[in-house]
Amino acid sequence: MSGAPRSGRRLSGKVVIATHNAGKLAEMRTLLAPFGIDAVSAGELGLPEPEETGTMFAENAAIKAQAAAAAAGLPAFADDSGLCVDALDGAPGIFSARWAGPAKDFAGAMARIASELDGRGATDRRAHFVSALVLAWPDGHTELFEGRVFGDLVEPRGSAGFGYDPIFRPDGHDRTFGEMTADEKHGIDWLKGEGLSHRARAFVALSRACLAPAR
């Protein structure tokens, strides 16, 4: 995520945030706020949720961003993300949302991770979050940015954030994402071009390539 900013196609004006996940939407709005971008969500536009048929985060992010850009006739921004647990061979990974089921039961999904680790007799608690961010334009052009954050799985702590945040303690920190404010979880230092969370790291790279600060 460091080094010279890559030059991508510049974004200005209005953009669709192509997510139906309220937690992600809130984070993306916060991340976009300093850039003077007029963001509207897929939900507000009544856009359908495309089926995520890809086998990789980047593919699913492109499916969501391209579907929204085509339907809205505007640039669209999508995140596909998930938690990859080393001792579960990377699961739930791209199935992170699906492990919570239609009721979005993340307490159940976190309990499933614990029980699958116990079932395997695994003591390794290493895991990482991945975020693939895709910006798509109505003419089919796309830009992809990825971010990762590594850490350990712990007993659920805290009620901030969303999804698997309560069980993830990022390296170098005592608290889980569920115990951090949104600003702490993003951990963005714009001057250094760094972030803490997977989404913030992908977003910093995207912003350096495609966004200009608001005047």
| Interface positions with ligand ITT (CB under 6 A) | 19-21, 24, 52, 64, 79-83, 96-97, 100, 129, 161-165, 177, 197, 199
Instruction: Give the residue with the Cβ less far from ligand ITT, 37 or 61.
Output: 61
Minimal CA–CA distance to 2: which of 139, 198, 194? 194
Q: Which among 79, 80, 124, 165 is annotated as catalytic?
A: 80
Taking the complex as a whole, the smallest distance from the CB of residue 4 to ligand ITT amounts, in Å, to 27
Taking the complex as a whole, the smallest distance from the CB of residue 149 to ligand ITT amounts, in Å, to 9
Q: Compute the distance between CA of residue 43 and CA of residue 25 in angstroms, rounded to an integer.
A: 10
Instruction: Give the residue with the Cβ less far from ligand ITT, 38 or 51.
Output: 51
The neighbouring-strand residues paired with 170 are 151
Number of residue whose CB is nearest ligand ITT: 163
Taking the complex as a whole, the smallest distance from the CB of residue 144 to ligand ITT amounts, in Å, to 14
Instruction: Give the residue with the Cβ less far from ligand ITT, 16 or 87.
Output: 16
* Token duo for residue 133: 């961010």
Minimal CA–CA distance to 11: which of 137, 119, 138, 178? 137
Q: E-strand spans in the chain?
A: 14-17, 38-41, 76-85, 126-136, 142-153, 168-170
Taking the complex as a whole, the smallest distance from the CB of residue 145 to ligand ITT amounts, in Å, to 15
Q: Is 79 a catalytic residue?
A: no
Residue 155 backbone phi and psi in degrees, to 5? -60, 145
Instruction: Give the residue with the Cβ less far from ligand ITT, 121 or 174.
Output: 174
Name residues whose C-beta falls within 8 Å of residue 199's C-beta, 6 or more positions apart in sequence.
24, 27, 28, 31, 79, 81, 131, 133, 147, 186
Minimal CA–CA distance to 47: which of 63, 36, 30? 63
Catalytic residue list? 80
